[in-house]
Amino acid sequence: MTERMIQARGVELCTEPFGDPADPPLLLVMGLGASMLWWDEGFCRLLADGGRFVIRYDHRDTGRSAACPPGRPGYTGQDLVDDAVGVLDAYGLGAAHVVGLSAGGGLAQLLALDHPDRVLSLVLISTSPAVPGKRRLPPPTRDVLDFATTVDVDWSDPASVADYLIGYERMLAGAARPVDVAAVKGLVARDVARSRDIRTIQNHDLLEDEDRPRGPLSSITAPTLVIHGGADPLFPPAHGRALAEEIPGARLLQLDGAGHGLHRADWPIVARSVLEHTTTGR
C-alpha cells in the first residue's frame, strides 16, 4: 500500500496502512522523536499477513506529518495521545488493538486510560509506566548516560544527524543483538530524506504534559501484553515487570538478551505474540 495523508483533529498526519481493511485493526504507536519508518515495513507485513489491518503513522514533527518551527512545538504530549484517536477516526475505526513502543507505549497507556472505548487490547514494548506511582524503578544504564552526555550533533547537517541516530540505535540494541549497520543507515537516510525538517524531532523533548486527572494503571481494562528486553539499557527490565504487575491481568514476555526497541531477530516471536494476543483481546 502507499502512504496516506489524513486530517486528524485538524492536523495533517502521514499514515500508511497494510493488509485488508476488513481484518481486525492494529494501530502502531512509535516512540518520540521517531517517524513511522521505525516500525519496519517487514514487521508490519508480518502482522498484516497474519490477518491484521495494520496502520503506522508519523507523529507531529516527524516524517511527513505537520511540523512546527524547531524549538517551538505548538502542542502538548496530550495532543500526541489524542492524535491516535484522530487516526482511528480518519480511518472510520471505532476501536483498534494498540501496540506502543518506547514512549509510544506510554502514549498507548494514556490512550487506554483516556479513551478506553477506543482500545481493544494493548501491547506495550520496551516501555515504562506512564502515570505516577509509589514504585521505585532503576534509571537508564551507564551506557545510555554516557551516550547522552558525550554525543555531539549538528542538526543542520543531515550526515551528522544520521551518525547520531545510528549510534543511538547501536547503543540501545545492546551487545547481544548486533545491529545491521547498513540497514540502519538505509533507514536513517530514508527518514532524513522524507522529513519536512529533521531538526523538528527535537521538539518532542520540549513537550509539556497537560494536568489531566486520570486513574492508576490498575484502572486499565484493555487486555494487555507487555514485551520487554532482558537487557534494555533505557528502561531496565524492572520497568516491564512493573507494568505487568500493575495492569490487571497483564502478561509479560521478556526477551532474553534483547535491548531497547524491536530487533529483527525478535520479529518472529514478537509478531506471533502480538497476533495471538490480538486474537484473544476483547
- Determine whether 82 is an active site residue: no
Q: Which of 35, 65, 102, 121 is an active site residue?
A: 102
Q: Which of 59, 97, 260, 263 is an active site residue?
A: 260
- Determine whether 239 is an active site residue: no
Q: Long-range pairs for 133-139 at CB < 8 Å and ≥24 separation?
A: 133/216, 133/217, 133/242, 133/246, 135/242, 135/246, 137/235, 137/236, 137/238, 137/239, 137/242, 138/236, 138/238, 138/239
**E strand spans, 9-59:** 11-18, 25-29, 53-57
CB distance 155 to 198 below 8 Å = yes
| Residue 230: half-sphere exposure toward Cβ, Cα within 13 Å | 8
Find residue 97's DSSP bridge partners.
Answer: 26, 121
Q: Which of 232, 266, 273, 277 is an active site residue?
A: 232
Q: Which three cell numbers stand for residue 222?
A: 484493555
- Determine whether 102 is an active site residue: yes
CB distance 30 to 61 below 8 Å = no
**Going by DSSP bridges, is the β-strand pair 11-18/4-8 parallel, antiparallel, or unpaired?**
antiparallel
Catalytic machinery residues: 102, 232, 260
